[in-house]
Amino acid sequence: MKKKNKKILYIEDDPDARALMADIIRHQGYTYLEASRGLEGIRLAKLHKPDLILIDLMLPDMQGSEVTTHLKSLPELHDIPIIALTGASSQNVREYVLTAGCDGYISKPINIKEFLFKLEEFLAGKREFVPPEYEKEFLQRYNVELVERLKRKVSELESLNKNLSRLNADLIASREELANYNDLLFYLNSLANYLRTLNDPQRLLKILPEQIVEGFHLDRCVIFRHDPHKGVIKPCSFFGEFEHAPEGAVLPFSDQLLQLVREEGGLLWIKDHHQLVEESLQDIGSFFNTSSFVISYLQELGRHNVQHLQKEETDEDFDPGIAIDERYVIYLDKHTRQKNFATYEIRIFKSFFQTVAIIYENMQLFNRLKYLYKIKSEEAIRDGLTNLYNYRFFIRELKKEVARTKRYKTPFSLLMIDIDYFKEYNDLHGHVEGDNVLKTISRLLELNTRQTDVVARYGGEEFAIILPAITKKKALPLAEKLRSLVKVYPFPDKVHRVPCRLTISIGIAGCPEDSKDHVELVRMADAALYEAKQTGRDKVCLYQG
Protein backbone atom coordinates (compact mmCIF):
# COMPACT_ATOMS: atom_id res chain seq x y z
CA MET A 1 0.00 0.00 0.00
CA LYS A 2 1.29 3.42 -0.89
CA LYS A 3 2.06 5.80 1.92
CA LYS A 4 -0.29 8.44 0.68
CA ASN A 5 -3.23 6.06 1.01
CA LYS A 6 -2.54 5.59 4.71
CA LYS A 7 -4.45 7.75 7.14
CA ILE A 8 -3.03 8.74 10.49
CA LEU A 9 -5.17 10.34 13.19
CA TYR A 10 -3.48 12.40 15.88
CA ILE A 11 -5.41 13.13 19.06
CA GLU A 12 -3.64 15.95 20.93
CA ASP A 13 -4.75 19.12 22.70
CA ASP A 14 -1.51 21.08 22.25
CA PRO A 15 -1.82 23.02 18.95
CA ASP A 16 1.99 23.39 18.55
CA ALA A 17 2.47 19.65 18.89
CA ARG A 18 -0.29 19.10 16.32
CA ALA A 19 1.26 21.61 13.87
CA LEU A 20 4.63 19.88 14.14
CA MET A 21 3.09 16.41 13.70
CA ALA A 22 1.05 17.60 10.70
CA ASP A 23 4.27 18.73 9.01
CA ILE A 24 6.13 15.51 9.70
CA ILE A 25 3.35 13.17 8.64
CA ARG A 26 2.26 15.05 5.54
CA HIS A 27 5.87 15.37 4.51
CA GLN A 28 6.01 11.57 4.48
CA GLY A 29 3.04 11.43 2.15
CA TYR A 30 0.47 10.14 4.67
CA THR A 31 -3.03 11.55 5.02
CA TYR A 32 -3.14 13.48 8.26
CA LEU A 33 -6.21 13.85 10.50
CA GLU A 34 -6.28 15.57 13.86
CA ALA A 35 -8.52 16.03 16.91
CA SER A 36 -8.00 18.23 19.97
CA ARG A 37 -10.34 16.31 22.28
CA GLY A 38 -11.06 12.67 23.13
CA LEU A 39 -14.69 12.64 21.93
CA GLU A 40 -13.80 14.36 18.68
CA GLY A 41 -11.04 11.75 18.20
CA ILE A 42 -13.56 8.93 18.69
CA ARG A 43 -15.92 10.57 16.20
CA LEU A 44 -13.17 10.99 13.54
CA ALA A 45 -11.94 7.44 14.12
CA LYS A 46 -15.45 6.06 13.51
CA LEU A 47 -15.90 8.28 10.49
CA HIS A 48 -12.53 7.80 8.71
CA LYS A 49 -11.29 4.46 10.08
CA PRO A 50 -7.60 5.58 10.04
CA ASP A 51 -4.73 3.14 9.61
CA LEU A 52 -3.08 4.33 12.78
CA ILE A 53 -3.96 6.53 15.74
CA LEU A 54 -1.47 8.58 17.72
CA ILE A 55 -2.81 9.68 21.08
CA ASP A 56 -1.72 12.02 23.83
CA LEU A 57 -2.39 10.70 27.34
CA MET A 58 -3.65 13.96 28.81
CA LEU A 59 -6.70 15.32 26.99
CA PRO A 60 -9.08 18.01 28.23
CA ASP A 61 -12.27 15.92 28.23
CA MET A 62 -11.05 12.33 28.73
CA GLN A 63 -7.94 10.44 29.61
CA GLY A 64 -6.07 9.14 26.53
CA SER A 65 -6.32 5.67 28.09
CA GLU A 66 -10.13 5.94 28.27
CA VAL A 67 -10.29 6.95 24.64
CA THR A 68 -8.11 3.97 23.75
CA THR A 69 -10.17 1.47 25.78
CA HIS A 70 -13.33 2.78 24.18
CA LEU A 71 -11.93 2.58 20.65
CA LYS A 72 -10.65 -0.93 21.27
CA SER A 73 -14.11 -2.01 22.49
CA LEU A 74 -15.67 -1.13 19.13
CA PRO A 75 -15.43 -4.15 16.81
CA GLU A 76 -15.02 -2.08 13.66
CA LEU A 77 -12.05 -0.15 15.15
CA HIS A 78 -10.57 -2.92 17.23
CA ASP A 79 -7.69 -3.65 14.87
CA ILE A 80 -6.47 -0.10 14.32
CA PRO A 81 -3.08 0.31 16.07
CA ILE A 82 -3.17 2.97 18.75
CA ILE A 83 0.18 4.41 19.76
CA ALA A 84 0.48 6.54 22.88
CA LEU A 85 2.84 9.56 22.89
CA THR A 86 4.10 9.72 26.44
CA GLY A 87 6.12 12.36 28.19
CA ALA A 88 8.09 9.82 30.19
CA SER A 89 9.24 6.35 29.52
CA SER A 90 9.06 5.01 33.01
CA GLN A 91 7.82 1.50 33.68
CA ASN A 92 4.59 2.94 35.19
CA VAL A 93 3.67 4.79 32.01
CA ARG A 94 4.46 1.82 29.88
CA GLU A 95 2.26 -0.38 32.06
CA TYR A 96 -0.42 2.28 32.05
CA VAL A 97 -0.68 2.65 28.27
CA LEU A 98 -0.43 -1.01 27.55
CA THR A 99 -3.13 -1.97 30.03
CA ALA A 100 -5.34 0.71 28.46
CA GLY A 101 -5.13 -1.28 25.22
CA CYS A 102 -2.48 0.72 23.35
CA ASP A 103 -0.47 -1.23 20.84
CA GLY A 104 2.68 0.72 21.58
CA TYR A 105 4.12 3.97 22.74
CA ILE A 106 6.63 6.57 21.64
CA SER A 107 8.35 8.86 24.13
CA LYS A 108 8.25 12.62 23.82
CA PRO A 109 10.09 14.72 22.79
CA ILE A 110 10.34 12.72 19.64
CA ASN A 111 13.40 12.02 17.61
CA ILE A 112 12.06 12.37 14.06
CA LYS A 113 14.16 9.65 12.53
CA GLU A 114 13.38 7.19 15.31
CA PHE A 115 9.73 8.24 15.31
CA LEU A 116 9.35 7.66 11.56
CA PHE A 117 11.04 4.31 11.86
CA LYS A 118 8.65 3.21 14.66
CA LEU A 119 5.67 4.57 12.73
CA GLU A 120 6.60 2.43 9.70
CA GLU A 121 6.96 -0.60 11.99
CA PHE A 122 3.56 -0.10 13.63
CA LEU A 123 1.93 0.47 10.25
CA ALA A 124 3.57 -2.70 9.01
CA GLY A 125 1.90 -4.62 11.87
CA LYS A 126 4.41 -4.63 14.64
CA ARG A 127 2.96 -4.53 18.16
CA GLU A 128 4.65 -3.81 21.45
CA PHE A 129 5.12 -6.91 23.51
CA VAL A 130 2.39 -6.92 26.13
CA PRO A 131 3.23 -9.02 29.13
CA PRO A 132 0.44 -11.47 29.95
CA GLU A 133 -0.44 -9.72 33.21
CA TYR A 134 -0.96 -6.43 31.33
CA GLU A 135 -3.03 -8.15 28.77
CA LYS A 136 -5.12 -9.72 31.49
CA GLU A 137 -5.69 -6.33 33.06
CA PHE A 138 -6.53 -4.82 29.69
CA LEU A 139 -8.98 -7.61 29.00
CA GLN A 140 -10.57 -6.99 32.39
CA ARG A 141 -10.93 -3.27 31.59
CA TYR A 142 -12.15 -4.20 28.18
CA ASN A 143 -14.74 -6.56 29.67
CA VAL A 144 -15.87 -3.93 32.13
CA GLU A 145 -16.29 -1.57 29.19
CA LEU A 146 -18.23 -4.24 27.29
CA VAL A 147 -20.49 -4.97 30.26
CA GLU A 148 -21.09 -1.23 30.70
CA ARG A 149 -21.97 -0.90 27.07
CA LEU A 150 -24.27 -3.86 27.29
CA LYS A 151 -25.95 -2.39 30.33
CA ARG A 152 -26.38 0.92 28.57
CA LYS A 153 -27.81 -0.83 25.53
CA VAL A 154 -30.19 -2.85 27.69
CA SER A 155 -31.41 0.23 29.50
CA GLU A 156 -31.78 2.05 26.17
CA LEU A 157 -33.80 -0.87 24.86
CA GLU A 158 -35.84 -0.95 28.02
CA SER A 159 -36.77 2.71 27.75
CA LEU A 160 -37.47 2.22 24.07
CA ASN A 161 -39.74 -0.64 24.97
CA LYS A 162 -41.45 1.40 27.63
CA ASN A 163 -42.07 4.14 25.06
CA LEU A 164 -43.40 1.59 22.65
CA SER A 165 -45.82 0.14 25.21
CA ARG A 166 -46.93 3.64 26.11
CA LEU A 167 -47.40 4.36 22.43
CA ASN A 168 -49.31 1.14 22.05
CA ALA A 169 -51.56 1.94 25.01
CA ASP A 170 -52.13 5.39 23.53
CA LEU A 171 -52.99 3.81 20.22
CA ILE A 172 -55.46 1.42 21.85
CA ALA A 173 -56.98 4.33 23.78
CA SER A 174 -57.29 6.46 20.68
CA ARG A 175 -58.74 3.55 18.80
CA GLU A 176 -61.40 3.22 21.51
CA GLU A 177 -61.89 6.97 21.49
CA LEU A 178 -62.26 6.90 17.74
CA ALA A 179 -64.81 4.11 17.98
CA ASN A 180 -66.75 6.06 20.63
CA TYR A 181 -66.48 9.20 18.56
CA ASN A 182 -67.79 7.33 15.59
CA ASP A 183 -70.69 5.88 17.59
CA LEU A 184 -71.58 9.32 18.90
CA LEU A 185 -71.39 10.87 15.45
CA PHE A 186 -73.62 8.17 14.07
CA TYR A 187 -76.11 8.62 16.88
CA LEU A 188 -75.97 12.38 16.50
CA ASN A 189 -76.65 12.15 12.81
CA SER A 190 -79.65 9.86 13.21
CA LEU A 191 -81.01 11.97 16.08
CA ALA A 192 -80.63 15.16 14.04
CA ASN A 193 -82.42 13.47 11.14
CA TYR A 194 -85.22 12.40 13.45
CA LEU A 195 -85.56 15.88 14.97
CA ARG A 196 -85.81 17.32 11.47
CA THR A 197 -88.95 15.27 10.86
CA LEU A 198 -90.78 16.97 13.73
CA ASN A 199 -92.48 20.25 13.03
CA ASP A 200 -93.41 21.34 16.50
CA PRO A 201 -90.61 23.22 18.32
CA GLN A 202 -92.16 22.48 21.72
CA ARG A 203 -92.19 18.77 21.01
CA LEU A 204 -88.54 18.94 20.00
CA LEU A 205 -87.64 20.52 23.35
CA LYS A 206 -89.74 17.94 25.18
CA ILE A 207 -88.09 14.85 23.73
CA LEU A 208 -84.55 16.23 23.48
CA PRO A 209 -83.34 15.55 27.09
CA GLU A 210 -84.17 11.85 26.99
CA GLN A 211 -82.57 11.42 23.58
CA ILE A 212 -79.43 13.20 24.77
CA VAL A 213 -79.13 11.27 28.04
CA GLU A 214 -79.67 7.88 26.40
CA GLY A 215 -77.64 8.51 23.29
CA PHE A 216 -74.65 10.25 24.82
CA HIS A 217 -74.57 8.14 28.02
CA LEU A 218 -75.15 11.04 30.38
CA ASP A 219 -76.72 11.28 33.80
CA ARG A 220 -78.96 14.24 33.36
CA CYS A 221 -80.12 16.75 30.87
CA VAL A 222 -82.35 19.71 31.65
CA ILE A 223 -83.68 22.32 29.26
CA PHE A 224 -84.40 25.61 30.99
CA ARG A 225 -86.33 28.58 29.71
CA HIS A 226 -84.33 31.75 30.36
CA ASP A 227 -86.07 34.88 31.61
CA PRO A 228 -83.49 37.61 30.95
CA HIS A 229 -85.55 40.29 32.74
CA LYS A 230 -85.59 38.41 36.00
CA GLY A 231 -82.15 36.86 35.41
CA VAL A 232 -83.43 33.33 36.13
CA ILE A 233 -83.86 29.97 34.38
CA LYS A 234 -86.78 27.56 34.94
CA PRO A 235 -86.87 23.93 33.78
CA CYS A 236 -89.25 23.19 30.95
CA SER A 237 -88.12 19.66 30.09
CA PHE A 238 -85.68 17.19 31.65
CA PHE A 239 -84.56 13.57 31.91
CA GLY A 240 -82.23 11.59 34.19
CA GLU A 241 -81.57 10.98 37.86
CA PHE A 242 -82.05 13.95 40.16
CA GLU A 243 -81.43 14.48 43.86
CA HIS A 244 -83.83 17.43 43.88
CA ALA A 245 -86.78 17.32 41.51
CA PRO A 246 -86.16 20.04 38.90
CA GLU A 247 -89.87 20.96 38.52
CA GLY A 248 -90.57 24.37 39.91
CA ALA A 249 -86.87 25.10 40.46
CA VAL A 250 -85.85 28.68 39.78
CA LEU A 251 -82.10 29.11 39.36
CA PRO A 252 -80.17 32.33 38.81
CA PHE A 253 -78.64 33.07 35.44
CA SER A 254 -76.82 36.37 35.50
CA ASP A 255 -75.75 38.58 32.61
CA GLN A 256 -72.13 37.78 33.51
CA LEU A 257 -72.83 34.07 33.06
CA LEU A 258 -74.50 34.75 29.74
CA GLN A 259 -71.41 36.73 28.76
CA LEU A 260 -69.17 33.78 29.72
CA VAL A 261 -71.27 31.42 27.60
CA ARG A 262 -71.21 33.92 24.74
CA GLU A 263 -67.41 34.17 24.89
CA GLU A 264 -67.23 30.40 24.56
CA GLY A 265 -69.37 30.49 21.41
CA GLY A 266 -72.58 29.29 23.08
CA LEU A 267 -71.27 26.33 25.09
CA LEU A 268 -69.54 26.51 28.45
CA TRP A 269 -67.77 23.46 29.86
CA ILE A 270 -67.14 23.58 33.61
CA LYS A 271 -64.48 20.98 34.41
CA ASP A 272 -64.09 21.44 38.18
CA HIS A 273 -64.90 23.65 41.16
CA HIS A 274 -62.04 26.08 40.34
CA GLN A 275 -64.10 27.27 37.42
CA LEU A 276 -67.16 28.03 39.57
CA VAL A 277 -66.12 31.65 39.87
CA GLU A 278 -69.48 33.10 38.99
CA GLU A 279 -72.26 33.08 41.61
CA SER A 280 -74.96 31.72 39.25
CA LEU A 281 -72.59 28.90 38.32
CA GLN A 282 -72.05 28.05 41.98
CA ASP A 283 -75.82 27.93 42.50
CA ILE A 284 -76.35 25.70 39.47
CA GLY A 285 -73.46 23.46 40.62
CA SER A 286 -74.86 23.13 44.13
CA PHE A 287 -78.41 22.48 42.88
CA PHE A 288 -77.13 19.54 40.84
CA ASN A 289 -74.49 18.70 43.43
CA THR A 290 -71.67 18.73 40.89
CA SER A 291 -68.77 20.89 39.83
CA SER A 292 -68.40 19.42 36.37
CA PHE A 293 -71.09 20.14 33.81
CA VAL A 294 -71.94 21.74 30.49
CA ILE A 295 -74.19 24.71 29.80
CA SER A 296 -75.29 25.45 26.30
CA TYR A 297 -77.30 28.47 25.23
CA LEU A 298 -79.51 27.60 22.29
CA GLN A 299 -80.11 31.15 21.15
CA GLU A 300 -76.40 31.97 21.17
CA LEU A 301 -75.66 28.90 19.07
CA GLY A 302 -78.48 29.90 16.73
CA ARG A 303 -77.32 33.50 16.56
CA HIS A 304 -73.86 32.27 15.73
CA ASN A 305 -75.28 30.69 12.59
CA VAL A 306 -77.51 33.60 11.72
CA GLN A 307 -74.62 36.05 12.02
CA HIS A 308 -72.67 33.86 9.72
CA LEU A 309 -75.57 33.88 7.28
CA GLN A 310 -76.11 37.57 7.68
CA LYS A 311 -72.61 38.41 6.62
CA GLU A 312 -72.67 36.35 3.51
CA GLU A 313 -76.14 35.98 2.19
CA THR A 314 -78.66 38.40 3.57
CA ASP A 315 -79.31 42.08 3.22
CA GLU A 316 -79.09 44.66 5.96
CA ASP A 317 -82.79 44.54 6.79
CA PHE A 318 -82.49 40.94 7.93
CA ASP A 319 -83.57 40.68 11.54
CA PRO A 320 -81.89 37.80 13.33
CA GLY A 321 -84.12 38.45 16.34
CA ILE A 322 -87.04 36.70 14.66
CA ALA A 323 -85.10 33.45 14.53
CA ILE A 324 -85.48 32.28 18.12
CA ASP A 325 -87.67 34.34 20.38
CA GLU A 326 -87.64 31.94 23.32
CA ARG A 327 -84.30 31.56 25.06
CA TYR A 328 -83.25 28.12 26.18
CA VAL A 329 -80.37 26.87 28.29
CA ILE A 330 -79.38 23.22 28.03
CA TYR A 331 -77.68 21.72 31.08
CA LEU A 332 -75.96 18.32 31.11
CA ASP A 333 -73.63 16.26 33.26
CA LYS A 334 -72.49 12.72 33.99
CA HIS A 335 -71.55 13.41 37.54
CA THR A 336 -72.80 10.30 39.31
CA ARG A 337 -70.90 8.11 36.85
CA GLN A 338 -67.78 9.78 38.24
CA LYS A 339 -66.65 10.55 34.74
CA ASN A 340 -65.61 13.76 33.15
CA PHE A 341 -66.40 14.73 29.59
CA ALA A 342 -63.77 14.11 26.95
CA THR A 343 -62.81 17.00 24.70
CA TYR A 344 -64.15 15.19 21.67
CA GLU A 345 -67.54 14.80 23.39
CA ILE A 346 -67.70 18.54 24.01
CA ARG A 347 -66.90 19.18 20.35
CA ILE A 348 -69.70 16.82 19.37
CA PHE A 349 -72.16 18.48 21.77
CA LYS A 350 -71.35 21.86 20.35
CA SER A 351 -71.93 20.87 16.79
CA PHE A 352 -75.02 18.88 17.80
CA PHE A 353 -76.56 21.79 19.68
CA GLN A 354 -75.78 24.06 16.76
CA THR A 355 -77.71 21.64 14.57
CA VAL A 356 -80.55 21.60 17.14
CA ALA A 357 -80.56 25.41 17.15
CA ILE A 358 -80.87 25.47 13.36
CA ILE A 359 -83.60 22.82 13.40
CA TYR A 360 -85.42 24.69 16.16
CA GLU A 361 -85.19 27.97 14.24
CA ASN A 362 -86.34 26.35 11.03
CA MET A 363 -89.33 24.84 12.81
CA GLN A 364 -90.30 28.19 14.24
CA LEU A 365 -89.91 29.90 10.91
CA PHE A 366 -91.84 27.14 9.19
CA ASN A 367 -94.70 27.38 11.69
CA ARG A 368 -94.74 31.14 11.39
CA LEU A 369 -94.83 30.89 7.63
CA LYS A 370 -97.62 28.32 7.83
CA TYR A 371 -99.61 30.64 10.08
CA LEU A 372 -98.99 33.64 7.82
CA TYR A 373 -99.90 31.59 4.80
CA LYS A 374 -103.15 30.55 6.45
CA ILE A 375 -104.01 34.17 7.30
CA LYS A 376 -103.01 35.41 3.88
CA SER A 377 -104.93 32.74 2.02
CA GLU A 378 -108.03 33.46 4.14
CA GLU A 379 -107.56 37.15 3.44
CA ALA A 380 -107.32 36.43 -0.25
CA ILE A 381 -110.78 34.90 -0.38
CA ARG A 382 -112.59 37.12 2.14
CA ASP A 383 -114.15 40.54 1.81
CA GLY A 384 -112.47 43.05 4.11
CA LEU A 385 -115.65 44.75 5.36
CA THR A 386 -118.13 41.93 5.82
CA ASN A 387 -115.74 38.96 6.04
CA LEU A 388 -118.01 37.12 3.58
CA TYR A 389 -116.36 35.38 0.65
CA ASN A 390 -115.28 37.88 -1.99
CA TYR A 391 -116.24 38.14 -5.66
CA ARG A 392 -113.20 36.17 -6.86
CA PHE A 393 -113.89 33.23 -4.56
CA PHE A 394 -117.59 33.31 -5.44
CA ILE A 395 -116.87 33.01 -9.18
CA ARG A 396 -114.42 30.16 -8.55
CA GLU A 397 -116.97 28.26 -6.47
CA LEU A 398 -119.69 28.97 -8.99
CA LYS A 399 -117.61 27.46 -11.79
CA LYS A 400 -116.89 24.40 -9.62
CA GLU A 401 -120.59 23.98 -8.81
CA VAL A 402 -121.48 24.19 -12.50
CA ALA A 403 -118.85 21.54 -13.27
CA ARG A 404 -120.19 19.31 -10.47
CA THR A 405 -123.72 19.64 -11.84
CA LYS A 406 -122.56 18.71 -15.32
CA ARG A 407 -120.73 15.68 -14.00
CA TYR A 408 -123.02 14.36 -11.22
CA LYS A 409 -126.30 15.90 -12.44
CA THR A 410 -126.87 17.46 -9.00
CA PRO A 411 -128.76 20.74 -9.17
CA PHE A 412 -127.96 23.96 -7.33
CA SER A 413 -129.46 27.42 -7.02
CA LEU A 414 -128.01 30.88 -7.21
CA LEU A 415 -129.42 33.84 -5.23
CA MET A 416 -128.61 37.44 -6.12
CA ILE A 417 -129.57 39.82 -3.28
CA ASP A 418 -129.68 43.64 -3.29
CA ILE A 419 -130.61 46.00 -0.44
CA ASP A 420 -133.57 48.20 -1.30
CA TYR A 421 -133.11 51.95 -1.28
CA PHE A 422 -129.76 51.62 0.39
CA LYS A 423 -128.59 54.90 -1.06
CA GLU A 424 -131.21 56.70 0.99
CA TYR A 425 -130.07 55.01 4.19
CA ASN A 426 -126.49 55.92 3.40
CA ASP A 427 -127.37 59.49 2.61
CA LEU A 428 -129.36 59.85 5.83
CA HIS A 429 -127.09 58.05 8.28
CA GLY A 430 -123.69 58.26 6.63
CA HIS A 431 -121.31 55.67 5.29
CA VAL A 432 -120.21 54.31 8.66
CA GLU A 433 -123.75 53.35 9.60
CA GLY A 434 -124.19 52.01 6.04
CA ASP A 435 -121.18 49.78 6.55
CA ASN A 436 -122.66 48.47 9.78
CA VAL A 437 -125.84 47.56 7.95
CA LEU A 438 -123.79 45.66 5.37
CA LYS A 439 -122.08 43.76 8.18
CA THR A 440 -125.35 43.00 9.98
CA ILE A 441 -127.06 41.73 6.84
CA SER A 442 -123.97 39.63 6.06
CA ARG A 443 -124.22 37.96 9.50
CA LEU A 444 -127.96 37.36 9.01
CA LEU A 445 -127.30 35.70 5.66
CA GLU A 446 -124.45 33.61 7.00
CA LEU A 447 -126.24 32.45 10.15
CA ASN A 448 -129.34 31.43 8.27
CA THR A 449 -127.75 29.35 5.56
CA ARG A 450 -125.91 26.02 5.73
CA GLN A 451 -122.19 25.64 6.27
CA THR A 452 -121.87 24.27 2.73
CA ASP A 453 -123.62 27.26 1.16
CA VAL A 454 -121.35 29.93 -0.26
CA VAL A 455 -122.41 33.38 0.94
CA ALA A 456 -120.46 36.12 -0.87
CA ARG A 457 -120.41 39.88 -1.21
CA TYR A 458 -120.89 40.38 -4.94
CA GLY A 459 -120.07 44.10 -4.75
CA GLY A 460 -121.48 47.30 -3.16
CA GLU A 461 -124.74 46.36 -1.41
CA GLU A 462 -125.24 43.21 -3.45
CA PHE A 463 -124.76 39.66 -2.22
CA ALA A 464 -124.73 36.27 -3.93
CA ILE A 465 -125.44 32.88 -2.40
CA ILE A 466 -124.76 29.46 -3.94
CA LEU A 467 -127.06 26.78 -2.54
CA PRO A 468 -125.62 23.38 -3.52
CA ALA A 469 -128.03 20.45 -4.07
CA ILE A 470 -131.06 22.80 -3.91
CA THR A 471 -133.43 23.25 -6.86
CA LYS A 472 -134.85 26.65 -7.72
CA LYS A 473 -138.16 25.61 -6.23
CA LYS A 474 -136.69 24.58 -2.92
CA ALA A 475 -134.58 27.70 -2.86
CA LEU A 476 -137.65 29.89 -2.88
CA PRO A 477 -138.77 29.33 0.77
CA LEU A 478 -135.19 29.77 1.93
CA ALA A 479 -134.94 33.08 0.07
CA GLU A 480 -138.27 34.12 1.54
CA LYS A 481 -136.97 33.32 5.02
CA LEU A 482 -133.90 35.53 4.43
CA ARG A 483 -136.06 38.33 3.08
CA SER A 484 -138.36 38.30 6.13
CA LEU A 485 -135.46 38.06 8.58
CA VAL A 486 -134.01 41.26 7.15
CA LYS A 487 -137.38 42.93 7.03
CA VAL A 488 -138.01 42.50 10.76
CA TYR A 489 -134.51 43.32 11.83
CA PRO A 490 -134.35 46.58 13.81
CA PHE A 491 -131.55 48.54 12.16
CA PRO A 492 -130.46 51.65 14.11
CA ASP A 493 -131.93 54.98 13.04
CA LYS A 494 -130.18 57.75 14.94
CA VAL A 495 -132.16 60.45 13.15
CA HIS A 496 -135.64 59.29 14.08
CA ARG A 497 -134.54 57.44 17.22
CA VAL A 498 -136.72 54.47 16.28
CA PRO A 499 -135.59 51.21 14.71
CA CYS A 500 -135.27 51.55 10.99
CA ARG A 501 -136.61 48.88 8.67
CA LEU A 502 -134.67 47.83 5.60
CA THR A 503 -135.65 45.31 3.00
CA ILE A 504 -133.92 43.21 0.40
CA SER A 505 -134.89 41.96 -3.06
CA ILE A 506 -133.79 38.53 -4.25
CA GLY A 507 -133.52 36.96 -7.71
CA ILE A 508 -133.09 33.17 -8.12
CA ALA A 509 -131.76 31.14 -11.05
CA GLY A 510 -131.25 27.33 -11.07
CA CYS A 511 -128.67 25.09 -12.58
CA PRO A 512 -129.08 23.03 -14.73
CA GLU A 513 -132.74 24.20 -15.11
CA ASP A 514 -132.00 27.69 -16.40
CA SER A 515 -128.46 27.34 -17.68
CA LYS A 516 -125.30 25.27 -17.46
CA ASP A 517 -123.05 28.29 -17.91
CA HIS A 518 -121.89 30.31 -14.91
CA VAL A 519 -121.96 33.70 -16.67
CA GLU A 520 -125.46 33.02 -17.96
CA LEU A 521 -126.62 31.96 -14.53
CA VAL A 522 -125.45 35.21 -12.92
CA ARG A 523 -127.17 37.17 -15.67
CA MET A 524 -130.42 35.22 -15.11
CA ALA A 525 -130.39 35.60 -11.32
CA ASP A 526 -129.71 39.31 -11.92
CA ALA A 527 -132.67 39.47 -14.30
CA ALA A 528 -134.90 37.89 -11.62
CA LEU A 529 -133.57 40.43 -9.10
CA TYR A 530 -134.33 43.24 -11.54
CA GLU A 531 -137.86 41.93 -11.82
CA ALA A 532 -138.24 41.93 -8.03
CA LYS A 533 -137.06 45.55 -7.96
CA GLN A 534 -139.38 46.51 -10.78
CA THR A 535 -142.40 44.87 -9.20
CA GLY A 536 -142.20 46.59 -5.84
CA ARG A 537 -138.96 45.48 -4.07
CA ASP A 538 -138.91 43.46 -0.75
CA LYS A 539 -139.62 40.49 -3.00
CA VAL A 540 -138.19 37.17 -4.17
CA CYS A 541 -138.46 36.39 -7.92
CA LEU A 542 -137.57 33.18 -9.77
CA TYR A 543 -136.03 33.52 -13.17
CA GLN A 544 -138.65 32.85 -15.77
CA GLY A 545 -137.13 31.83 -19.06
Shortest Å distance, C-beta 259 to ligand GH3: 58
How many residues touch ligand GH3 under the rule CB under 6 A: the total is 15
Nearer to Mg ion, 329 or 419 (CB): 419
Whether 438 contacts 385, CB under 8 Å: yes
Q: Please report, as residue ranges, which positions from 337 to 366 form the binding site for ligand GH3 (by CB under 6 A).
A: none
User: Considering only residues 333, 345, 461, 538, which one is a binding residue for ligand GH3 as defined by CB under 6 A?
Assistant: 461
Q: Which of Mg ion, ligand GH3, none binds 526 (CB below 5-8 Å, type-dependent)?
A: none
Neighbours of 435 (CB within 10 A): 13
Whether 444 contacts 486, CB under 8 Å: yes
**What is the enclosing helix (H) or strand (E) of 139?**
helix 132-197
Is 418 a binder of ligand GH3 (CB under 6 A)? Answer: yes
How many residues touch Mg ion under the rule CB under 5 A: the total is 3
Phi, psi for 226 (deg, rounded to 5): -95, 130
CB-based burial label for 95 (10 Å; 0-12, 13-18, 19+): middle
Neighbours of 336 (CB within 10 A): 13
Nearer to ligand GH3, 184 or 388 (CB): 388
Is 501 a binder of ligand GH3 (CB under 6 A)? Answer: no
Nearer to ligand GH3, 240 or 434 (CB): 434
Draw the binding track, 426-445, toward ligand GH3 (x: CB under 6 A; -: no contact).
Answer: x----x--xx--x-------
Separation CA 538–CA 416 (nearest Å): 13
Is 103 a binder of ligand GH3 (CB under 6 A)? Answer: no
Separation CA 420–CA 132 (nearest Å): 150
Q: Which of ligand GH3, Mg ion, none binds 426 (CB below 5-8 Å, type-dependent)?
A: ligand GH3
Is 534 a binder of ligand GH3 (CB under 6 A)? Answer: no
Separation CA 75–CA 59 (nearest Å): 24
Neighbours of 275 (CB within 10 A): 15
User: Considering only residues 56, 361, 383, 420, which one is a binding residue for ligand GH3 as defined by CB under 6 A?
Assistant: 420
Shortest Å distance, C-beta 430 to ligand GH3: 8
Distance set, CA 505 to CA 265, 451, 464, 490, 532 (Å): 71, 23, 12, 17, 6
On the CB side of 356, CA atoms within 13 Å amount to 30
Is 113 a binder of ligand GH3 (CB under 6 A)? Answer: no
Taking CB atoms, the residue at the shortest distance from ligand GH3 is: 434
Is 460 a binder of ligand GH3 (CB under 6 A)? Answer: yes
Nearer to Mg ion, 345 or 383 (CB): 383
CB neighbour burial string for 380-393, b if at least 16 within 10 angstroms, e if fewer:
eebbeebebbbeeb
Whether 215 contacts 332, CB under 8 Å: no
Q: What is the DSSP letter of 321?
A: G
Q: Which of ligand GH3, Mg ion, none binds 435 (CB below 5-8 Å, type-dependent)?
A: ligand GH3
Whether 456 contacts 388, CB under 8 Å: yes
Give the SS3 label for residue 129: coil
Is 423 a binder of ligand GH3 (CB under 6 A)? Answer: yes
Chain centroid to CA 25: 75
Nearer to ligand GH3, 240 or 507 (CB): 507
User: Considering only residues 422, 425, 458, 463, which one is a binding residue for Mg ion as defined by CB under 5 A?
Assistant: 422
Q: Which of Mg ion, ligand GH3, none binds 212 (CB below 5-8 Å, type-dependent)?
A: none
Nearer to ligand GH3, 196 or 537 (CB): 537
Is 418 a binder of Mg ion (CB under 5 A)? Answer: yes
Is 526 a binder of Mg ion (CB under 5 A)? Answer: no
Q: Which of Mg ion, ligand GH3, none binds 196 (CB below 5-8 Å, type-dependent)?
A: none
Shortest Å distance, C-beta 541 to ligand GH3: 14
Q: Which of ligand GH3, Mg ion, none binds 533 (CB below 5-8 Å, type-dependent)?
A: ligand GH3
Whether 521 contacts 398, CB under 8 Å: yes
Separation CA 504–CA 462 (nearest Å): 9
Given the rule CB under 5 A, which residues bind Mg ion? Answer: 418-419, 422
Given the rule CB under 6 A, which residues bind ligand GH3? Answer: 418-423, 426, 431, 434-435, 438, 460-461, 533, 537
